[in-house]
Structure 1
Amino acid sequence: MYNIVFPYCSSCKAKKNLCGLGYCPIIKKLKSSGLELKMVSGDAEADTPPGIFVGSYGYPEVLAGPTALFNPDVFDYGKERFGMKLEEVISMNSNVYRTASKMSIRRPDEKFHEYILESASSIKPFEIAFKTEHFSMHGPDTGDFFDTPVGSTAMVSNLRVTGNPKIPKMVDYIHGDNDLKSSEGLFKLFQEGFQPEYLQNILAGGLIGIDHQRKMVPTRWAITATDDILFKELKKDIIHSPWILDIMQFNMNYVGNSFQVVLFPGPFSFEMMEQWNRGSLWGQGSVSIDYEGIKGRTNYASNITGAYYAARLSVARYLRSIGKQASVIVVRTIGSEYHSPLGVWVIRSSVREALKNRPVRFSSNDEFLKESKLGIENAKDLSWIIRNQKRQKRLVDF
């Protein structure tokens, strides 16, 4: 559907500027041909989903503000996106635009920031009003669009809340605790049942953390940071749990994404492989791999980027729920059906749902190597974890 201009698009994914153009021609073409164009002008009123967007361009001076809806009847905030068809999600995303004003991440306008906080923390839609200074239908032709696929931006002034946000008492309490670290605050909310998709707005808005350290975080960074923070807290329990006994493989397919999640008996480690196939958004690419041992990562998973952290979090949630420890491989292959970016929630949700399925069990490494299929032809030869498994002996092997 989209012509691949460079051979390394699948490695870049609009985030590394490997082509040197400063924008992604694939994203640019996608938006010009695939999204319905709408506009807002003058004095306007809108519903916010709720949610916020904090840009990264020009950091620490960024564009930030609540997201808003062209048509409030189209967007169902409470609806689970997983299971929707790709075209349904695209339609829902095209109904959302960003309201934005330029501000410092540490010293935002006090009144404007108050409205951002309400938009980030409300669990129900509410009305906002503003004056539109400029409206762009283009939005960023970069990885920001891939992580949060909302194409239009309204530069606004005189933003005000005219509706009634609904902020949970626990969120309000955490926001008011100026001595609580942001990581501790996020995990407390997570344990109360708030999902990562909500918590990433809390972090982006600068709602939590030690008072003098609070700042807004670009949405693109906040998504990965939330996944990473929650994972590290879950891992504290996982590494003290007993190993699983059998090798288990879980499978899932969703909107052109095929996932195989394999759990091996052993100390916690995590590896993800990813390959974009011909006809997919980024076209045919080589296999990308990132991994870590029980000591964790010391640098960013730059090959797979945000998808790595999203998948790892879902794996950790599963292991903690069953009280076990395992070495885990997630293999993701992307086909032609996935022709438009939907965000890393696809990976987080797909791996979560895969782990709810009945697994295929293997009693030995030899059986697994002989009978399992991982979607990527030479995955077993490339895998760091499988190489370790071949050398590792268990009591049941003697």
Structure 2
Amino acid sequence: MKIGFDCVKCKGRLKCGLPRCPVLAKLDIKKSLKPKKEFKSETAGVFIGWHGYPKVYAGLLSPHESTTNKGPREWVNNKSSIIDVMTYRSSLVNSRNKVKIKEVKGFNEYVQSSALSSKPLSIDVSLKKAPKILVNYNIHSQPYGPAAEVKELRVNDHPRIKKAVQKVHYDTDLKAGEAMIILKQKELEEYEISSILSAGTLGVDKNRKLVPTRWSITATDDTLGKNYIKKLKNNEVIDYYQVFHGKYFGNIFTILLMPRFWSYELIEMWMPGAVFSSNETQVMTDYEQFNGRKKYAENTGGGYYASRLPITEWLASNNLQASALVIRQITKDYYMPLGVWVVREAVRKALQNSKKFNNYEQARTYTERLTGFDLRKSKLIREKQTILQKFI
């Protein structure tokens, strides 16, 4: 977060209304970081950059000291705070090298072994120079800390690879999308699947390559979501309205399911004080009709696909079909971006709490009361076409 005049004037006294000063929080995290040039640790993930593609930085993430590997599900279950997540992720050093995305030998082998392994790998790291103390974050992927190029790296044990992962990895005739669906059916989490995809370990042999982390996350959400959509289109359409509501890390989600064939819209309301927001509420939206969309959801980005995935999964698993209108309110309590996994988990939380209504007016009134958003501005609502008019 850039320090501006208001931040200088406030000096951390929270005159902005935020629950925690992002500037001071970032400084506190930096003070706790003491990166070294050489250290022993355990792998905590991989990170593939996108600058300079098709020649990118590929790195192993690891703390300076061995620690329990943590991820989104642990943070949700343990009720971790934003600062908890930022502190842990910012402690991870990105030991990296510049590589070509098609390379299969050398440093890329370490990256692939780490991504395929279900357990952290013990490593000895020697960097070319001590990494600068940085806290890196964006809206797409999880934060990470200092980064430096590797001088020497030694992996001290062999990767433990799950049978399902091993099977799709060694099947070089299996397309990456099909492999991802198989891994999801074997109950691997999206976070594992996107990491495996990112390391270039899935797909037809000649097509395998490193995939930048931010791209692999969206590709995973999109591929798995489309598979669920294909399934739910064969289900009966609901004959009621259902509104789900929940929040996580300052992201409030309200989901309105309507008795129509599948369609979907995400409306994002960036409230004053929220990360990346201005002093006024900003509204962004993307949507798709029954046959889907061909272009990337530019307005809402990765959040579009991260939000759609758990909704389609819920509908498919309950043998239902509906049109889904999703309203995401990003409040000032979300003062540091942690990645689109927050969206995915927030929607899952919302899907645990719902009310049913017999008609649209009741559902509309309830939804507008929860969100303050005029549903007449929704593209799905404006269609105002019945199922018979639209699809028969």
Say whether the fold is shared (TM-score over 0.5): yes
Contact 2:256 2:367 in 1 (8 A): no
Contact 2:29 2:87 in 1 (8 A): no
Contact 2:222 2:305 in 1 (8 A): yes
Distance in 2 between the 1:227 and 1:135 partners? 36
| Residues 138-157 of structure 1: pairs in structure 2 closer than 5 A | 143=138, 146-157=140-151
Distance in 1 between the 2:38 and 2:2 partners? 40
Shift in alpha-carbon separation, 1:103–1:37, aligned structure 2, 3 A: farther
Q: Work out whether 1:307 is the aligned partner of 2:291.
A: no
What secondary structure is seen at the aligned counterpart in 1 of 2:299?
coil
Distance in 1 between the 2:160 and 2:214 partners? 25
C-alpha deviation, 1:376, in angstroms: 4.2
| Structure 1 portions without partners, runs of 5+ | 6-25
**Who is 2:197 aligned against?**
203
Q: TM-score, normalising length from structure 2?
A: 0.87
What secondary structure is seen at the aligned counterpart in 2 of 1:147?
coil
Contact 1:40 1:154 in 2 (8 A): no
Q: Work out whether 1:40 is the aligned partner of 2:35.
A: yes
Contact 2:43 2:60 in 1 (8 A): yes
Distance in 2 between the 1:206 and 1:28 partners? 37
Distance in 1 between the 2:127 and 2:83 partners? 29
C-alpha deviation, 1:300, in angstroms: 0.7
| Residues 128-147 of structure 1: pairs in structure 2 closer than 5 A | 128-137=123-132, 143=138, 146-147=140-141
Q: TM-score, normalising length from structure 1?
A: 0.86
C-alpha deviation, 1:371, in angstroms: 3.5
Distance in 1 between the 2:217 and 2:360 partners? 35
Shift in alpha-carbon separation, 1:4–1:371, aligned structure 2, 3 A: farther
Shift in alpha-carbon separation, 1:374–1:227, aligned structure 2, 3 A: farther
- For residues 18-59 of structure 1, the C-alpha deviation after alignment (integer angstroms, 9 at most, x for no partner) is xxxxxxxx999975565445243333221112x100000111
**Who is 1:22 aligned against?**
none
**Who is 1:250 aligned against?**
244
**Who is 1:293 aligned against?**
289
Distance in 2 between the 1:70 and 1:290 partners? 41
Q: Percent identity?
A: 33
Counterpart code for 2:151: S
Distance in 1 between the 2:70 and 2:221 partners? 24
Q: Work out whether 1:318 is the aligned partner of 2:314.
A: yes
- For residues 146-205 of structure 1, the C-alpha deviation after alignment (integer angstroms, 9 at most, x for no partner) is 522113112113222113422101111111001000000111011000010110001100
Shift in alpha-carbon separation, 1:113–1:218, aligned structure 2, 3 A: same
User: What is the number of equivalent residue pairs in this alignment?
Assistant: 370
**Who is 2:115 aligned against?**
120
RMSD value, Cα: 2.6
Distance in 1 between the 2:340 and 2:72 partners? 18
Contact 1:39 1:137 in 2 (8 A): no
Distance in 1 between the 2:31 and 2:268 partners? 30
| Structure 2 portions without partners, runs of 5+ | 5-20
**Who is 1:14 aligned against?**
none
Name which of 215, 222, 225 aligns with 2:216: 222
Name which of 63, 80, 85 aligns with 1:89: 85
